[in-house]
Amino acid sequence: MQWKSTNSLFAKIFAAFWLLIALLISALILLPQLDSRQLQPIKTAGSELILYQSSKLTSLLDKNPLLGSRSILRLLANNNDSDQHTEVFLTDTTGHLINATAPRKIRQFMLDSQSPQKPLQKINTYKTYYGPRLLVHNQHEYLIYISTPNQKKSLELVEWLLDNPLLLIFTGILVTMPICAFFAWHLTLPLRQLRIISTKVARGELDIPFPEIKNSDEFTMLAKSMQLMVRSLKNMLNNQQRLLSDISHELRSPLTRLTLAVAITKKHTGDTKELQRIELEAERMEQMIAEMLNLSQIQLHQAKKEDLALDDFLEDLFLDAQFEANEYSKTFSYPTLSKVSINIYPELAYRAIENIIRNAIKYAKQQISVKIHITPHTITLTISNDGPLIPEKELDNIFRPFYRLNESRERETGGAGLGLSIAENAIFKHGGKIWADNLGNQVSMHLQFPRFN
């Protein structure tokens, strides 16, 4: 893998990952060091305080050289009476405590600091400890430790956090969240831009301009590749349309001559079954060419969607269907139409619904009905008829171009086998879906449109 520039997505993720790791390790190392309660070399004030207490105690002991350990303890008590805020503790060189009792924390400090050559101090929440300092009396060596009230009124922030691990974790999350959020937003911005573009391309807007992406080499290359793909797709569709147009022109010319020849032959020899069959096949071929062009136009359709009231859009279509059904002595029924809005390509949606309705009228025995189901996001039209049921294994195949369930039936009813395919392409153009099923004794076609763009 080549690292060509710092604008590389790889470089950014790599740097961000190791930066976060470095910050985490640094925090783990530095935070305990920032805690003033850790053992640390004694400061000047602490040295002066322990020297003062040591000198005071030494003076008392020198005046009473024959006193033993208990006497020393009484002197310590008297010494502390003069300074109620300072406590003095003595141990022998083996660490044995001379005082009768001592708090647990000062005993821990005595264990941690036992070298008179390197006295230490430790600041706790309420007390500060100093020591040790060597004290000699009656040829006995003692270590003196001092405890004074802590001058701090409250713990520092670092100490407070270290004493509350959950709060420390929450603070870490709170600090890193904006950084991670900005980094994630920065990295995903090109993806959001490309997603918007790809959605528009999927809707057929092949002339949409691509944004200029500068914050990532990889995304810039991806955008260029997508732009090249869209350009190739557009050229391919244009070539397909041109090919279909050329084919339709080349086929219609001999069809026109064939139809003219049939008409001249009828005029000279009269009508025959053979001429009728030739004329019928020519009409079917002409219809097939027209439907192929309609299918191609739907696939290349680039008009804009419109917001229409459902009743305004469907009323005339259903009235025409009702009239056409009556011509075949069949009934067409539909519910009261709602005034809800729907975002559609009017021409494509009209053609899709009209194809399904006409198909239902063609195969129905007596009844065709429409049901409309409206949800906050979709509108589904269910068009049912009481004609012959479709075998379950064929329900998906009927939407394939030129597919026929029964060749003889198609010959009787006419059609090129493209009506359902045209409807499916029109629905897909809207981002919807279409499917068929057998409900009871009826064949039902479901057309689902998204209500909004």
Give the pLDDT confidence of 415-431 residue by residue, as tens digits.
556 778 888 888 888 88
Q: Is residue 12 part of a domain?
A: no
Cα angle value 369/389/445 (rounded, 5°): 45
Q: What is the pLDDT of residue 69?
A: 59
Q: Is residue 113 part of a domain?
A: yes
Whether residue 237 sits in one domain with residue 125:
no
Between CA 178 and CA 183 the distance in angstroms is 8
**Hey, CA dihedral for 258, 263, 269, 272, is it positive or negative?**
positive
Q: What is the pLDDT of residue 2?
A: 47
Whether residue 352 sits in one domain with residue 287:
no
357, pLDDT greater than 60: yes
Highest average pLDDT, of 114-123, 175-184, 263-272, 295-304, comes from 114-123
Whether residue 257 sits in one domain with residue 367:
no
Whether residue 310 sits in one domain with residue 281:
no
Q: In the chain, pLDDT over 70 holds for what percent of residues? A: 83
Ramachandran area for residue 402 (φ above 0: left; ψ -120 to 50: alpha; else beta):
left
Q: Does the predicted TM-score (pTM) go above 0.75?
A: no
Q: What is the pLDDT of residue 213?
A: 74
**Could you report the per-residue pLDDT of 308-329, keeping only the tens digit for each?**
999 999 999 999 999 999 999 9
The stretch 392-396 carries a mean pLDDT of: 87
Q: What is the pLDDT of residue 318?
A: 93
Q: What is the pLDDT of residue 413?
A: 53
Least confident window among 30-34, 97-101, 144-148: 30-34
358, pLDDT greater than 60: yes
Q: What is the pLDDT of residue 36?
A: 63
Whether residue 294 sits in one domain with residue 311:
no
Q: Who has greater pLDDT, 378 or 239?
A: 378
- CATH of residue 274's domain is 1.10.287.130
Domain that holds residue 141: 40-155
H helix runs in 203-216, sequence order: none
73, pLDDT greater than 50: yes
Could you give the number of structural domains in the chain? Answer: 3
**Could you report the per-residue pLDDT of 276-311, keeping only the tens digit for each?**
888 877 777 777 777 677 666 665 656 678 899 999
- Whole-number average pLDDT of the chain: 80
Q: Who has greater pLDDT, 417 or 263?
A: 263
Tell me which of 250, 277, 298 is where a domain ends: 298
The stretch 57-74 carries a mean pLDDT of: 69
**Could you report the per-residue pLDDT of 152-203, keeping only the tens digit for each?**
555 566 666 766 778 777 877 888 888 888 888 887 888 888 888 888 787 6
Whether residue 294 sits in one domain with residue 320:
no
**Could you report the per-residue pLDDT of 238-254, keeping only the tens digit for each?**
787 777 777 777 777 78
Tell me which of 298, 319, 345 is where a domain ends: 298
Q: Residue 134 corresponds to which tokens in the numbers above?
A: 């060597």
Between CA 54 and CA 51 the distance in angstroms is 5
The angle that helices 217-269 and 165-202 make with each other, rounded to 10 degrees, is 30
Whether residue 122 sits in one domain with residue 70:
yes
Strands (DSSP E) found in 151-294? none
> Residue 425 in contact with residue 293, Cβ under 8 Å?
no
Q: Pairing between strand 433-439 and 442-450?
A: antiparallel
> Residue 131 in contact with residue 145, Cβ under 8 Å?
yes
β-strand partners of 449: 379
Between CA 380 and CA 66 the distance in angstroms is 109
> Residue 69 in contact with residue 75, Cβ under 8 Å?
no
Highest average pLDDT, of 99-103, 208-212, 388-392, comes from 388-392
Q: What is the pLDDT of residue 368?
A: 94
